[in-house]
Amino acid sequence: MSLIKTAIVCVTAAVIFALVQGQGSVQPNCLGCICEASTQCNVSVGCHTPYAGAYFCGPFLISWAYWADAGKPVIQNDDPNRQGAFENCVNDLYCSAETVRQYMGKFATDCTGDGAINCEDIVRVHKIGYNGCNANVNANDAFWQSFRTCSARVNVD
């Protein structure tokens, strides 16, 4: 089973790489592991409200505010101000990966204090937010366990 999961993560990373190659500083394997930890990179997950006031969509579980902060990227020929543009983008693997890339282009920060911005910082900004990304994480949380397993499997820094 672990060979199958490794293959799925590698294929996901390869697809994301093909979609966003050379566009920004987020490594494709890092994007792949964020996607894997968020939803097992399920592109049919849709949108849900896990608690009052929260609304997350797509394989990266992106909120409207995150998407807006990223500059409201859209699928080709869509209008970012059209109702449904957010959902169309973040439920699409390419557009959601582009949303993460653009968000990190604006907000990536050295959360760990090691003097470099790497995948650990990117995932912290994605999951926690750039303002509190230096907070301790619950290592037993399913997201963090999945991310750590994936990042070790594909050798993400």
157 residues of the chain, pLDDT tens digit each: 555 554 455 445 444 444 444 445 799 999 999 999 999 999 999 999 999 999 999 999 999 999 999 999 999 999 999 999 999 999 999 999 999 999 999 999 999 999 999 999 999 999 999 999 999 999 899 999 999 999 999 998 7
Q: Outline where DSSP puts E strands in the chain.
A: 47-48, 56-57, 62-63
How far is it, in rounded angstroms, from Cα 121 to Cα 108?
7
pLDDT at 22: 41
Tell me what pLDDT residue 120 has. Answer: 95
Q: What is the pLDDT of residue 73?
A: 98
Residue 157: per-residue pLDDT: 76
CA distance 93 to 20: 11
> Which domains occur in the chain, in start order?
2-153 (1.10.530.10)
pTM for this one?
A: 0.84
Query: Terminal CA-to-CA distance of the chain, rounded, Å?
Result: 24
User: 140 CB contacts (<8 Å, ≥6 apart)?
Assistant: none
